[in-house]
């Protein structure tokens, strides 16, 4: 266990204490408040907490973190509005025609979809953001793995 | 330089023509100096004024007597002089070429002067636009208009003949020999063909001459435009060059980022080729996101058991993260030692519950936890040197803690 954690930490490119702190706080919060919620709901919340902690630890200097924070905030606002508003009949969604998938899809487009806030980004910028995003994501994955290991081992 | 000055100057020049007994010599000086003034641009009139002043002192009384209408021919005479001096006898030919071109270059250069003249009177405008030719053309016309000018015209040929030039195109009759002379000299001075052709038309119309000068001016304007256009094109070429430069810089940037990504993504260093590398990067990002999903699922499954030891986890995982960047965290003794002295479990709880925002609290928690399970005196003093040791101990302590929990 010790050697494993050590090696993982060495692999970790930029371990951020902020990120771990955010994430664990969020975990605690989830565990305290929503112990009664379903498994899938908890899973989603944990996932969201993971991304949010990533974004907050990275700060607003990165485009992908800004995009993540923005989407999360928007989601929260939507939830609050839904909570406060009278139950309105849901707007019927007109089925859109399926998007024409380009046969030989540009890899950059795929990357744009993967990296938050990557749509409409300049290619050079996209690569930069991707690098940062990968770094943070790897750290986050590492952190979560540590948590899971510690939990399962205990 | 006002219009009034112009008028008076022209009058005086007229007087100069009329009354100078010196004949050609003062005139010649006058023309040469006027050329210099022409080359100077706008300072045309003062010079004339001076010349007329110096050359003849007797025109002062005559100025009021001269009518304004007769001014134009007189003015023309002023401009006429250099040409006449040019077309004088063979002895003055060598001086001519030096004189005439500047005078002719006066046409396009002096647009402001022409405008001023145009404001003065229509006749002036036509005459000033092309002094050299229009005075020839106006000569016959103006003789009909004014007895004064006729008188002047009569005097002028006499004067020139007195010089011994033997060549006057001022007179009503054009001798072919004179014309040929004129042409030859102009061609010697490298004048445009249109000007040489204009000589036969001299008696016909003054307007034609002005039109021609206008045409010449307008011909020069496109030339300037063309030059500017070429200049703009050159700039355009430079712009494309800079574009290519910018493109090169961008490509360098992209390759640099690619290299960075290559280092970041495991198993990507062996791959060559941008497309494959991008594929690898995409795969890696996807796998990471899937891992996040999977781990969150696992955590959700594990969550009910998690409620007891989240705080311990917090400190532990933070510490694990810290151990990677030992220098960034700074397990400095001066930071830890006061915490060691405190060494209370209650401090940990308060730090976690209330003071989440600062990493200082986290450090405090870690150090106090360290404090709980290990003897404080031994390892913390030199923890800055061997962080791995510290890590080991902390993990050990946490496992202990977890087991206890």
Q: Report the gap between the CA of A84 and the closest CA in chain B (Å).
A: 28
pLDDT reported for residue B275: 81
- Asked if the Cβ–Cβ distance from A114 to B314 is below 8 Å, we say no
- Asked if the Cβ–Cβ distance from A123 to B301 is below 8 Å, we say no
> Contact at 8 Å (CB) between A66 and A54?
no
pLDDT at A114 over 80: yes
Q: What ipTM score was computed for the predicted complex, to two decimals?
A: 0.78
pLDDT beneath 50: ranges in chain B: 1-111, 113-115, 117-118, 120-235, 237-239, 308, 321-405
- Asked if the Cβ–Cβ distance from B288 to A141 is below 8 Å, we say yes
- How far is residue B235 from each of residues B83, B221, B225, B240, B273, measured CA to CA in Å? 44, 21, 15, 9, 37
Q: How confident is the model at residue A99 (pLDDT cuts 50, 70, 90)?
A: low
SS (H, E, C) chain A: CHHHHHHHHHHCCCCCHHHHHHHHHHHHHHHHHCCCCCHHHHHHHHHHHHHHHHHHHHCCCCHHHHHHHHHHHHHHHHHHHHHHCCCCCCCCCCCCCCCCCCCCCCHHHHHHHHCCCCCCCCHHHHHHHHHHHHHHHHHHHHHHHHHHHHHHHC
> Contact at 8 Å (CB) between A111 and B282?
yes
- Asked if the Cβ–Cβ distance from A111 to B285 is below 8 Å, we say yes
Q: How confident is the model at residue A142 (pLDDT cuts 50, 70, 90)?
A: confident
Return the domain boundaries, chain A: 8-84+118-123+130-154
Q: For residue A39, give the nearest of B286, B300, B396 by CB distance.
A: B300
pLDDT reported for residue B248: 83
> Contact at 8 Å (CB) between A132 and A62?
yes
* B118 alpha-carbon distance from chain centroid: 35
Angle subtended at Cα B103 by Cα B99 and Cα B107, rounded to the nearest 5 degrees:
160
- Whole-number mean pLDDT of chain A? 75
pLDDT at A149 over 60: yes
User: Distance between CA B140 and CA B172 in Å, rounded?
Assistant: 6
Condensed to tens digits (0 to 9), the pLDDT of residues B18-66 reads 444 444 444 444 443 444 333 443 434 444 444 434 343 444 444 444 3
* Collapsed DSSP state (helix, strand, coil) of residue B56: coil
Enumerate long-range contacts of A21-24, CB under 8 Å, 24 or more apart: A21/A53, A21/B314, A21/B318, A21/B356, A21/B359, A21/B362, A22/A49, A22/A52, A22/A53, A22/A56, A22/A57, A23/A49, A23/A50, A23/A53, A23/A140, A23/A143, A23/A144, A23/A147, A24/A147, A24/B310, A24/B313, A24/B314, A24/B317, A24/B318
Q: For residue B318, give the nearest of A1, A20, A127 by CB distance.
A: A20
pLDDT reported for residue A87: 65
The residue with tokens 């907490």 is A49
User: Distance between CA B325 and CA B323 in Å, rounded?
Assistant: 5
- Asked if the Cβ–Cβ distance from B282 to A114 is below 8 Å, we say yes
Most confident segment among A7-16, A97-106, B50-59 = A97-106
pLDDT at A116 over 70: yes
pLDDT reported for residue A84: 78
User: Distance between CA B294 and CA B288 in Å, rounded?
Assistant: 10
- Whether chain A has a CB inside 8 Å of the CB on B261: the answer is yes
Condensed to tens digits (0 to 9), the pLDDT of residues B117-126 reads 445 444 443 4
């Amino acid at each position: 266990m010790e050697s494993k954690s050590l090696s993982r930490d060495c692999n970790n490119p930029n371990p951020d204490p902020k990120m771990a702190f955010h994430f664990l706080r969020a975990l605690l919060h989830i565990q305290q408040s929503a112990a009664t919620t379903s498994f899938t709901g908890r899973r989603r919340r944990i996932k969201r907490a993971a991304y949010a902690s990533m974004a907050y630890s990275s700060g607003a200097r990165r485009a992908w973190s800004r995009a993540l924070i923005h989407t999360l905030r928007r989601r929260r606002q939507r939830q609050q509005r839904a909570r406060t508003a009278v139950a309105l009949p849901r707007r019927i969604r007109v089925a859109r025609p399926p998007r024409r998938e380009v046969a030989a899809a540009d890899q950059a487009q795929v990357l744009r979809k993967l990296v938050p806030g990557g749509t409409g980004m300049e290619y050079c910028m996209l690569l930069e953001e991707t690098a940062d995003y990968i770094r943070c994501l790897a750290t986050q994955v590492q952190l979560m793995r540590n948590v899971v290991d510690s939990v399962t081992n205990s | 330089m006002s219009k009034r000055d112009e008028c008076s100057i022209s009058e005086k020049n007229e007087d100069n023509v009329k009354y100078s007994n010196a004949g050609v010599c003062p005139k010649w000086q006058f023309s040469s100096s006027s050329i210099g003034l022409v080359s100077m641009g706008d300072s045309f009139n003062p010079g004339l004024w001076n010349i007329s002043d110096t050359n003849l002192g007797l025109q002062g009384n005559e100025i009021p007597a001269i009518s304004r209408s007769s001014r134009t021919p007189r003015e023309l005479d002023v401009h006429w002089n250099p040409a006449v001096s040019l077309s004088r006898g063979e002895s003055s030919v060598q001086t001519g070429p030096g004189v005439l071109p500047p005078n002719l270059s006066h046409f396009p250069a002096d647009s402001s002067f022409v405008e001023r003249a145009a404001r003065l009177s229509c006749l002036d405008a036509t005459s000033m636009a092309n002094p050299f030719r229009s005075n020839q053309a106006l000569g016959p016309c103006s003789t009909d208009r004014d007895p004064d000018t006729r008188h002047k015209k009569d005097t002028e040929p006499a004067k020139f003949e007195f010089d011994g030039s033997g060549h006057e195109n001022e007179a009503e009759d054009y001798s072919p020999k004179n014309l040929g002379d004129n042409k030859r000299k102009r061609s010697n001075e490298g004048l445009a063909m249109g000007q040489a052709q204009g000589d036969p038309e001299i008696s016909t119309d003054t307007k034609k001459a002005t039109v021609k000068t206008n045409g010449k001016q307008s011909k020069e304007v496109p030339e300037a435009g063309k030059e500017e256009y070429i200049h703009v094109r050159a700039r355009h070429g430079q712009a494309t060059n800079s574009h290519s430069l910018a493109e090169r810089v961008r490509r360098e940037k992209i390759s640099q980022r690619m290299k960075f990504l290559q280092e970041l993504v495991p198993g990507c260093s062996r791959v060559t080729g941008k497309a494959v590398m991008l594929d690898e990067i995409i795969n890696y990002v996807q796998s990471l996101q899937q891992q996040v999903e999977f781990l969150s699922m696992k955590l959700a499954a594990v969550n009910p058991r998690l409620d007891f030891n989240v705080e311990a986890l917090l400190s532990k995982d933070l510490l694990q993260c810290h151990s990677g960047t030992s220098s960034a965290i700074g397990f400095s003794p001066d930071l830890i030692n006061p915490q060691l002295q405190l060494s209370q479990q209650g401090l940990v709880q308060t730090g976690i519950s209330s003071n989440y925002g600062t990493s200082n609290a986290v450090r405090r928690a870690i150090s106090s936890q360290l404090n709980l399970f290990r003897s404080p005196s031994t390892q913390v003093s030199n923890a800055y040197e061997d962080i791995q040791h510290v890590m080991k101990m902390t993990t050990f302590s946490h496992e202990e803690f977890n087991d206890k929990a």
